[in-house]
Amino acid sequence: MMEREIEIGLIEELLGLREAKSHYLDDEIEFNSVDQYKSEAIFQRERDQMFARLPAVAAHVSELTNPGDFVKREIAGRSILVTRDAHGEVYAFLNICRHRGTQLVDDESGCKHRFSCPYHAWSYANMGELVSVPHMATGFPDLDKAQYSLKSLQCEERFGFIWGIATPDITFDFDAYYSPIAAEAEGLDLANMDIAHEEKKVHNSNWKILVEGGIESYHSKVAHRKTIGPYFEDNLSSYQMLGDHMRSVLMRSSMHVLRDQPTDQWRLRDHANIIYTFFPTTQLLVQKDHVVWINSRPVSAGQTELRLATLAPKSRLAEEAYWEKNHQITSTTLNEDFVIGESIQSGFASGANDVITFGRFEGALPEFNRTIMRHTAA
């Protein structure tokens, strides 16, 4: 969990900025080329060098609770099959039959211990082994079934999620990559939560625009004036890079009351929205009593599918009306950002701007984009 010293320090920092009538400022104004958001060539480079080679969340653990459970996902344009075997281990594979390349599984989720190809019925165990080939003795007399297992992908179960890498034969040091954010992620106890409500929607916007909207508060009083704007301080937030990842803290207007309370009673998530960005495409919006999981699936330079899920403690999952109301508030608020994101994307075609301009209090955005550049540099 977040170290207590860090939590107190973040609260002190934001209270100090409020009392000084100041902002969390970086050193200079920065810029990003519009091409980074509209170029299909740049998007393809991001897909090949970043989305296909870095871990991506495939599922919350609650989606594969039982032996035999599976989900089908798309990561970096590739169909991925994620399974849980009889011993509780998780696996990920390219969802492709090794015979003639047919997509093996069409269902989005289910429970099976074997998968049979819809073309010629080659069958695979949920651990990936080829177990049955019709007419094998006559048609494939020398076939070594061990060489025809499903293409395995690295798969890890961490922080309440199941992660996969879409490229075979990559060995990724998961623990090292997530170590700067691991303690705080584990402290959220997401493995003991379940999906209370969720939705998916495709937005006509570059994936980076949608991520960027969640890591600055400059827009909150304007874009969210009819929803959450009145409950937050004007343009008061902070951020910290945690390796490639990021913690952003957006200050609620209620935080000032902590000055009248002893510090041992201070609790950050009671008076702020905390947003963790797990680079590149997963964000967690931490609220008082639940967490919102925002998962981006970049489709093209100008299109992104978003999965928005409210994660609630299992002990309170029966409070359906409460979670439905919370989810609707979050969905309505975030949709205000997504509508603006689509407006930005469509505006690129006008040629009005060659660059996006980031002010000194929008420093999280150029940091995020620098991380992208590091991963996609030739």
- Residues in the chain, pLDDT under 50: none
Sequence ranges of the chain with CATH classification 3.90.380.10: 4-53+181-376
Sequence ranges of the chain with CATH classification 2.102.10.10: 56-171
Rounded-to-integer distance, Cα 250 and Cα 256, Å: 13
- Other CB atoms within 10 Å distance of the CB of residue 226: 10
pLDDT tens-digit map of 294-320: 999 999 999 999 999 999 999 999 999
State residue 328's pLDDT score: 97
State residue 378's pLDDT score: 62
Has this prediction a pTM greater than 0.85? yes
Q: What CATH class has 56-171?
A: mainly beta
Rounded-to-integer distance, Cα 91 and Cα 83, Å: 5
- DSSP lists the bridge partners of residue 60 as 161
With tokens 């281990």, the residue in question is 89
State residue 64's pLDDT score: 98
On whether the CB atoms of residues 61 and 37 are closer than 8 A, the answer is no
DSSP letter for 307, please: E
Bond prior to 366 in cis (omega within 30° of 0): no
Helices (H), the chain: 4-19, 35-38, 40-46, 136-139, 174-187, 207-212, 220-223, 320-347, 364-376
Q: What CATH class has 4-53+181-376?
A: alpha beta
State residue 1's pLDDT score: 78
